[in-house]
């Protein structure tokens, strides 16, 4: 869900600009970190 929202924000820019590629790379990293964090939180709650 978070990735969809962030992806929509990045689509608003011109896709061919280098800064957009950097932003998308950062968004991907942030989303991966968030997903790992949330998985850890939910697994701790179940324990």
Task: Note the pLDDT of residue 34.
Answer: 94
- Residue 37's pLDDT is 94
Query: pTM of whole model > 0.75?
Result: no
Answer yes or no: are the C-beta atoms of 20 and 14 closer than 8 Å: yes
Cβ proximity of 10 and 20 under 8 Å: yes
Q: How many whole angstroms separate alpha carbon 10 and alpha carbon 12?
A: 5
The pLDDT tens digits for 7-47 are 665 555 556 677 778 888 999 999 999 999 999 988 888 76
pLDDT, residue 18, reads: 74
Instruction: Note the pLDDT of residue 4.
Output: 65
């Amino acid at each position: 869900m978070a990735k969809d929202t962030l992806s929509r924000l990045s689509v608003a820019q011109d896709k061919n600009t280098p800064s957009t590629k950097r932003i998308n790379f950062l968004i991907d990293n942030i989303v991966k970190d968030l997903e790992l964090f949330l998985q850890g939180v939910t697994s701790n709650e179940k324990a």
